Amino acid sequence: MTKITIIAFDGTPFNLDAENGSTVMENAIRNGVPGIEAECGGACACATCHVYVDEAWTGEVGEPEPMEEDMLDFAYEVQPNSRLSCQIKVRDELDGLIVRVPERQG
């Protein structure tokens, strides 16, 4: 299990044990993190699972693929550390990862 923290927009932290290979979005949905809608169920087709990756983690998490970058065009208040959480797969190196949920999902 890898420990990840998803911080809701109101500041509530969700400290989760995530299975390697699962996506950050799946963990958010399973644990009812408010503000992650994931309408398309992880198909990279809705941009309603947008999160901000903590600055300390942007390097390890990496850059979005072109398809995700395209989808981010539909998200709200996109920043350089924006990612779609359904496209971030949990792995050992991400132990301690922190992401924040934006104010709204478009």
Interface residues toward ligand FAD, by CB under 6 A: 40-41, 43
Choose one: 6-14, 40-48, 88-96, 98-106; the region binding ligand FES (CB under 6 A).
40-48
Choose one: 4-12, 13-21, 33-41, 98-106; the region binding ligand FES (CB under 6 A).
33-41
CB atoms < 10 A from the CB of 83, how many?
Answer: 24
| Secondary structure (H, E, C), 14-38 | EEEEECCCCEHHHHHHHCCCCCCCC
Binding partner of residue 6 among ligand FAD, ligand FES, other proteins, none, CB cut-off 5 to 8 Å per kind: none
- For the chain, state the CA radius of gyration: 12
In angstroms, give the least distance from the CB of 34 to other proteins: 16
State the Cα–Cα distance between residues 57 and 40, nearest whole angstrom. 26
- The 3-state DSSP class for residue 62 equals coil
Chain residues binding other proteins by CB under 8 A are: 39-40, 43, 45-47, 69-70, 72-74, 76-78, 104, 106
